[in-house]
Every structure is written in C-alpha cells, then in structure tokens.
Structure 1
Amino acid sequence: MRIRLDVAYDGSGFHGWAAQPGLRTVEGELSAALATVLRVPEVSLTCAGRTDTGVHARGQVVHTDLEELPEGCERLARRVNGVLAEDVRVLHASEAPAGFDARFSALWRRYAYRVADRPSLADPLRRTFVLAWPRPVDEGLMNAAALALVGEHDFAAFCKQREGATTIRTLLDLTWSREPDGLLVAHVRADAFCHSMVRSLVGCLLAVGEGRRPVEWAAGVLDAAVRDSAVAVAPAHGLTLEEIGYPPDAELAARVEITRARRG
C-alpha cells in the first residue's frame, strides 16, 4: 500500500531534503524514524520537491510503499513523531489513492520567500525564516519586473545546471506583497523548479527593488538563457515550501505520464 505523508520542517538544522552519508537530512531522519517504528531495515521515500540546505517546508508531501500497515495511518503519524526531533513533523498520514506519486502527480509547487527590509521588521524571533535586508525595496518595481518571468520559459539563467536535466519550467505566479506588519513576501508558484531557481529569482528582483537594476533587467537575464554572475542567489533561510497542488484522484495517473515526458 502507498502511504502519503504531509510533512513540515525547520530547515535550519538540515543539509537539505536528500539523504547524504554522514549528514543530517530530512529524508534521512524521516526514513530512519519510519524504519524504527515499522521495525524494518529501511524505508524508501519520494518527496514532491527536494529542498536545499537551510530551506524550510510546511507543505512537503512524501510517499512510501509498505507491505502492510496494521496499526492505521493516524497511529503511524503519532508514533513517528514520537521518534523524530522537534524540528520535523508528520502533520498527516493517509493511504494514497490509486495512481498517486508525490513527485510526478504534482501539478504545481508553491514557495514563499520572506524579507524584512526595514530595521523595525527584523524580529530576532523569526530570524531563522526571514531574510533581514539592509535597504528598503520597492515591491511595485519588483512586481513589474516579475511580469516578464511568468509563463513557460527556459530558466537556465536562474538555475544551477544539472547534467541531462531540462531547465524549461512554467512559472505560474510570481508576486510580491506586504503583510499587515510590513513584512515583504514573494509568492512563487510553478509546475516545478530547477536547482536554486526560486532563490535566484528573488535575488534578481531584490536588485530591481532597491534600484540597483532597471525593471527591464530581469527580462534580459531570462532571455540570455545562461547563468548570470550578476544575479545573486538569495540566502536559503528566507525560503519556505508552502504547498503542493495535485489534480483530482481520477487524473493522478495521467498526470504522472505527462510529468515524466521531458520538455524541450
């Protein structure tokens, strides 16, 4: 049976999602906790989106395949949380519908990047998930620059290349807004993201927002389709994976086939 796990974590103490020998990772901790509870040698996991070192999540989705689960999903979640450290939690566990794949069934991933661009917003209690930016930025300029980035493009200029991997993505939303207290938040949603893409987009737009680059610069970077050293990758700790979107159950298997088809 396939089990879906909805997972949240504070990425500060992790070397990202993916298991790595000798390093503390979310996948490694969660897999080990499941193996302990289920009394099996190992548990294989598939996640919706691999987060980098220091990146947080409160909407991560994971699946695992088990021979059986006599105790039920709710009890499994409670027992796993009893083994895990407090910086990672299983929020919900359920039996996945037919055709579900945490990664390939996903329609989109949504991230938020939080920025405190004024001294009064730099609350020490939220320093681990909010970037303290030393200068005020104009969200109107950033939203204007972001318009050219939305849609299906080759985002090679904003990604760290991986051999054999495409950098073509469909960016569904990229908007900046302020919370009631003035905190600046980037809302970023796409069908998928390549390595460091969100943080590079944020770094590019912050340069526009503080007036160091013109609004048109973001479009020029995108059109060049090559990594631009002038685009700073924003620090990891401001980024949080917020939500994963999936189609109705009847369309899950078809979505897997569409996602697996390489784009050119």
Structure 2
Amino acid sequence: MTTVKLTIAYEGTDFCGFQRQAQGERTVQAELEKALQRLTGEVPKLIAAGRTDAGVHAKGQVVSFTTAARIPVERWPAALNANLPPDLIVWQAEAVPATFHARYSAKTKTYQYIVSRRRWPDPFLRRFSYHYPHPLDVAKLRTAAAALVGEHDFKGFAAAGSAVATTVRRLDRVVVEEEAEELFFTLRGNGFLYKMVRNIVGTLLLIGSGKAEPALVEEILAHGDRRAAGPTAPPHGLTLLSVEY
C-alpha cells in the first residue's frame, strides 16, 4: 500500500463544502473520490487538512489516502485532473510515510479573507471577496487584529456545531494589508475552530466601522462570549492558502 499526499485547489462557489454529504450534494471530497475510483477501482478514504465550508475556496488544501494502485506518484496529478471538473485541480502528488495524516500531521494553516471596499461590486471579484463599501478605520482594525496573535481560548470566535477537545489555538500571524481598494486579512496558526476566521473578520469589520472599540477583541478572548462578537463574514471571501507540515 502507498500513502499519497495531494495538494489541491478549488473554487468553492459551486461546492457544498469539502466533506461528503449524506444527502449526496456536490462536494470536493465526493468529486475526488469518484475520480480516484475511476482510476483505481478502489473506494478510497480521503483525509483532508481542513473541512472547508460551502462557498469557501482553497489554493493549497492537502488530502491524503492509501492505495494499492501502482500508478507512479508523478502521474497522479495528470491522471486525476483528466477526471475532475474545471473548478477542482490537483497541483501536486507525493508519496509519504504511512504515518502521515493530512490533518493531524499539519503544523500550521494559512487562511486569507478578502474584503472589497469599492463603491460598486467588481464582477471579477464577486466570487472571491466580500463587498463592503462602508467607511473603515483601518488603523483601529489593525490594532484589534494584533491582540489575536498568540495562544488564546478562541471560544468566543467559534460557531456552534463542532465538537472539539479544546478551543485553545495559537495564531502566529494576523495581518491586514491594503491593496488598491481591497483589504487582505491573512491568518496563520496551528489550528482553526469552526467558522473562526469568518467570525474574526466580522468582528474586525465591526470595530473598523466604529461600532465597537479595539478592546472588544481582548474582552471576547477573556470571557468567551460569542454573542459579543461581530456577525459571521460570508464564506466566499475566504480561501485556505496553504498547509505547512
């Protein structure tokens, strides 16, 4: 048996998330499994670094699986891409030790959220950014973002619906960069809770719009009350950029 690690990208617009759904909705996992089954005749068990939600994109998602197929590892991308839809692509394939686990072997993940501040929506950005044409104090927003760096209990930024052993995570990088009329929120950490990035972005926008002060972030980290945080930013502005091992 060979353990294969795939690095993949997808536009999440027309997917109901990564994970296979019992109701048979179109998902990234289901499309990959169909392609693998066509190639190998096997029913693979795919493990993903992160189960992105419906509408969320990925440039550097990682999945792993084991197979008895004797396809040379360098041929997996071409073979799979010939059987995948145009909104899902395999960038790279590697043979890895049997102990490799796409999720639990990951050291850090990097996400990026794009907010477009243009007066009118840009049709070329509409699938990949959240149109937010309102005044923002970017300095306040950055001050609030800086308080997120480090190891904290992020319970107040987690959505209900995910059972985890602990809500403590470490963020190594939280930066907000301006380019033209877009804001790029980049977060890198050792793990992320359900909808954590989108809840953080929604809270930072609340602060940047003047509806709350930067100290709100420290208060949420201290008391863990999700109700005090901002609304969840929509999924289409979020992309999983990379997973580091």
Short-chain TM bin: over 0.9
Matched, 1:185 2:187: no
Match of 2:69 in 1: 68
SS in 1 for 2:36: helix
Distance in 2 (alpha carbons) for counterparts of 1:43 and 1:187:
33
Deviations 1:32-71 (A, max 9, x none): 111111122x1111111110111000010111111232x3
Aligned partner of 1:75: which letter? R
Match of 2:117 in 1: 117
Deviation at 1:214, TM superposition (A): 0.9
Contact 1:131-1:235 within 8 A present in 2 as well: yes
Distance in 1 (alpha carbons) for counterparts of 2:11 and 2:135:
27
SS in 1 for 2:147: helix
Match of 2:163 in 1: 163
TM superposition score normalised by structure 1? 0.87
Aligned partner of 2:236: which letter? H
Distance in 2 (alpha carbons) for counterparts of 1:233 and 1:164:
20
Contact 1:118-1:136 within 8 A present in 2 as well: no
Distance in 2 (alpha carbons) for counterparts of 1:164 and 1:217:
25
Distance in 1 (alpha carbons) for counterparts of 2:113 and 2:153:
22
Deviation at 1:226, TM superposition (A): 2.5
- Higher normalized helix content (fraction of residues): 1
Distance in 1 (alpha carbons) for counterparts of 2:93 and 2:136:
41
Distance in 2 (alpha carbons) for counterparts of 1:200 and 1:74:
39
Match of 2:13 in 1: 12
Matched, 1:243 2:235: no
- State the Cα RMSD in Å: 1.5
Contact 1:221-1:228 within 8 A present in 2 as well: no
**Residues 21-36 of structure 1: pairs in structure 2 closer than 5 A:** 21=22, 22-36=24-38
Distance in 2 (alpha carbons) for counterparts of 1:43 and 1:155:
34
Aligned partner of 2:201: which letter? V
Contact 1:175-1:187 within 8 A present in 2 as well: yes
SS in 1 for 2:227: coil
Contact 2:156-2:229 within 8 A present in 1 as well: no
Distance in 2 (alpha carbons) for counterparts of 1:101 and 1:47:
8
Gap regions ≥5 residues in structure 2: none
Deviations 1:120-157 (A, max 9, x none): 6x321121001100303222211101122211111110
TM superposition score normalised by structure 2? 0.94
Deviations 1:163-221 (A, max 9, x none): 35321111111110012x23110001110001000000000001111111111112112
Distance in 1 (alpha carbons) for counterparts of 2:72 and 2:125:
36
Contact 2:220-2:229 within 8 A present in 1 as well: no
Contact 1:111-1:187 within 8 A present in 2 as well: yes
Contact 1:14-1:25 within 8 A present in 2 as well: yes
Match of 1:92 in 2: 92
Deviation at 1:225, TM superposition (A): 1.0
Deviation at 1:73, TM superposition (A): 2.0
Deviation at 1:97, TM superposition (A): 4.0
Aligned partner of 2:193: which letter? C
Distance in 2 (alpha carbons) for counterparts of 1:34 and 1:67:
12
SS in 1 for 2:239: strand
SS in 1 for 2:30: helix
Matched, 1:143 2:153: no
SS in 2 for 1:171: strand
Distance in 1 (alpha carbons) for counterparts of 2:178 and 2:6:
31
Match of 2:220 in 1: 221
Residue identity (%): 39
Number of equivalenced pairs: 242
